[in-house]
Structure 1
Amino acid sequence: MSVVGGIAEVRRRHLAALAREVEARGLAWRLSGPEESLLAVYGPLTRRRLMVVATPVGDGWSYLWPGGGMADVAEAAAAADQLTRLLT
């Protein structure tokens, strides 16, 4: 596995973890972009949506979304709570 392939796999794993958390809170989601590198999250009732990326930051990984949103991937539940507030 190449380094790039490894990064893509880690990114998808982090996005999948966040997807499970937002789905548990009633939001809809889908992976999109090249190599499923983005998580599209939707508020089913409000029809609001946003895109989330997972990116290496320092020694770890973080989720980033529009409006300056940022959370460590180790805190996927807290990130999902923030996204739920934005989209509901």
Structure 2
Amino acid sequence: MRRRHLAALAYEVESRGLVWKFAGPDESLLAVHGPRTGRQAMVVATPSGDGWYYLWPGGGMAEVARLAEVADRLHALLG
């Protein structure tokens, strides 16, 4: 399930011009890179209660259902 959520986010961030790769143990993290700025962030998808959330640096947190919004926020942070 985790990998599926990260793969969905990878597609979204790539469509916004960001570069990504799977990282960490069992490729459980998504490393996202802004090629213009050189900024990077690691994103995790984690279960919480009865749903899943994305977490990223700077206190970023959103339900996986808010996929496009998360990609937009990462683009603003890293782009």
TM-score (norm 1): 0.88
Structure 1 residue 71: Cα displacement: 1.0
4+ residue runs over 4 A deviation? none
Higher RCO structure (Cα 8 Å, ≥6 apart): 2
**RMSD of aligned residue pairs (Cα, Å):** 0.5
Structure 1 residue 78: Cα displacement: 0.6
Q: Which has the larger radius of gyration?
A: 1
Task: Give percent identity, aligned residues only.
Answer: 70
Measured in 1, the distance between the counterparts of 2:65 and 2:10 equals 14
1:54 corresponds to 2:54: no
Determine the structure 2 residue equivalent to 1:18.
Answer: 9
List gaps (5 residues or longer) in structure 2. none
TM-score (norm 2): 0.98
- The structure in which a higher percent of residues are helix is 1
